[in-house]
Structure 1
């Protein structure tokens, strides 16, 4: 089976990412998505993350499917779903652990300014 996501960013979970329940806080998961998105825009589309990024985040939705724990490495897989005249939409799949189980899915819309 061909992987539907061809760009991957690996993020190591830091102790500071955890909440009082011992798993990664949901706001941090959004930061992981941001990291994957910025790396995709830089690596695939050639944008510099500082000064040359002609787009802003207009919408993000994250569906959490499993907790993420300290010591795991999160794989943020990213792709562009569609490109319009002034915006584009991206999808992200986050997996973690030795078994690479899915921990979240996210969609985001970026708008040119």
Structure 2
């Protein structure tokens, strides 16, 4: 099987290596560019939980302003992995789509 990855390399590298190791032909053509957008600062102390629908949301968020014990809903395993790596302690993961959140 030939698999084409279109996301930036840092978002695809792990899967590229995994599929290559399984013997698949892999191409990488990044056609999606993920950029930070400016947003109004949020006082996370006003909330009991947060929902992350993407690991990229966590990548661009100033997580120093958030209590790491807050309930953290993540859309899938990649988002969960990123949240845990940033120190979030109360992570609940869905099955990879927003509907299951």
Same fold, judged at TM 0.5 (above)? no
Greater fraction strand: 1
Q: TM-score, normalised by structure 1?
A: 0.24
Greater fraction helix: 2
Instruction: Give the structure, 1 or 2, with the largest relative contact order (CA under 8 Å, sep 6 or more).
Output: 1
Q: TM-score, normalised by structure 2?
A: 0.25
Bigger-Rg structure (1/2): 2
